[in-house]
Structures are given as C-alpha cells and as structure tokens.
Amino acid sequence: MSVEDENKAIVRRYIDLFTRHDLPTEEVIAPLASGFVYHRPGMPDVIGLMDMRQVVEIYRSAITDMHGGIEDLVAEGDKVACRWSGDATHKGELLGVSATSRAIMLTGIAIYRIADGKIQEEWDYTDLFGLMQQLGVGSL
C-alpha cells in the first residue's frame, strides 16, 4: 500500500468516526496528533486536542444524525483532499443560531496533512453561507 493510500485510509476512518454519534469524543479524535491544528476561514485556529475536543462536541450536539460522507478523496504526498457532503438535523446552537430542528445539507472540502500515521492539520472549507441560508439567517 502506498503512502497516499495509507493517508486516505486515515482520513476515511476519521470522517467515519466523526459522523457516528454513538462514540465518545475521545474515540472520534483518536486519529488526530496531539499538536493537531484546525484551520477555518475567518476564525481563529484551533490548536491541540483539548480545544479540538470542544469543537467536535459543539458540532456533534448541534448537528445530529449526520448521514453522508466522502464524495471525492485525492492524495499526494502527506496531503489528502476530501470533498464531502451530508444530511443532518440542526438540533442545537451553532454559530450563534439556536436550534431550528430543520433538515440541513452540509457540503465542504477539507485538506488534511498527515505524518506518523496521525492527522496533523486540517484546513476546513465548509459551505457556511449555504448552511446559514438553510437555517433562515441569510439570503442573496
């Protein structure tokens, strides 16, 4: 198995864990390195497992019953690019929006850097504008 195939398998495992609500957060973040850095446009970086644990718990409590997954997965060297989508229900506060119980569809692209069998960094480009429109917050 090539390095790229191994890295893609790590990302697949992480995404599968992230969308399962029956697992403890510790199991979800297990593929992440201790110095993991989570980059999001317009927001401060999340650094380390303690802070990432909080991010995961916020998303998991706000967006329930996520179904979907990987649309495309491309790897080169230590990087893996993933285009993903999923359907869920908005059940808790997220980005300042109280629970709406609306069905939502999320889409995004994430780029992961992997070293030593762990995800070291993630650059997340979730379609937040589309999400806010679905929650009734924004319009064109």
What tens digit of pLDDT does each residue of 66-119 get? 888 899 999 999 999 999 999 999 999 988 899 999 999 999 999 999 999 999
Q: Is residue 9 part of a domain?
A: yes
What percent helix, strand, coil does the chain show, rounded to 5? 30, 45, 25
Confidence of residue 139 (pLDDT cuts 50, 70, 90): low
Q: Residue 43: which residues within 8 A CB-CB, separation 6 or more? A: none
Residue 133: per-residue pLDDT? 93
3-state per-residue secondary structure call for 21-37: CCCCHHHHCCCEEEEEE
Q: Is residue 29 part of a domain?
A: yes
Q: Is residue 21 part of a domain?
A: yes
Q: Distance between the two ends of the chain, CA-based, in angstroms?
A: 47
> What CATH number has the domain bearing residue 129?
3.10.450.50
Residue in this structure with the two tokens 């957060």, named with its chain if needed: 25
Model pTM? 0.91
Domain count, the chain: 1
Higher pLDDT, 51 or 1: 51
Residue 115: per-residue pLDDT? 98
* Domain enclosing residue 53, as ranges: 3-134
Residue 138: per-residue pLDDT? 67
pLDDT at residue 140 greater than cutoff 60:
no
Q: Each residue of 19-60: pLDDT tens digit?
A: 888 888 899 899 999 999 999 998 999 999 999 999 999 888
Q: Is residue 140 part of a domain?
A: no
Q: Is residue 77 part of a domain?
A: yes
C-beta separation of 87 from 103 below 8 A: yes
Q: What's CA 84's distance to the chain center, in Å? A: 9
- How far lies 28's CA from each of 105, 128, 139, in Å? 21, 22, 34
Confidence of residue 127 (pLDDT cuts 50, 70, 90): very high
Q: Are strands 32-40 and 63-76 parallel, antiparallel or unpaired?
A: unpaired
Q: Is residue 98 part of a domain?
A: yes
Q: Is residue 139 part of a domain?
A: no
Q: Is residue 103 part of a domain?
A: yes
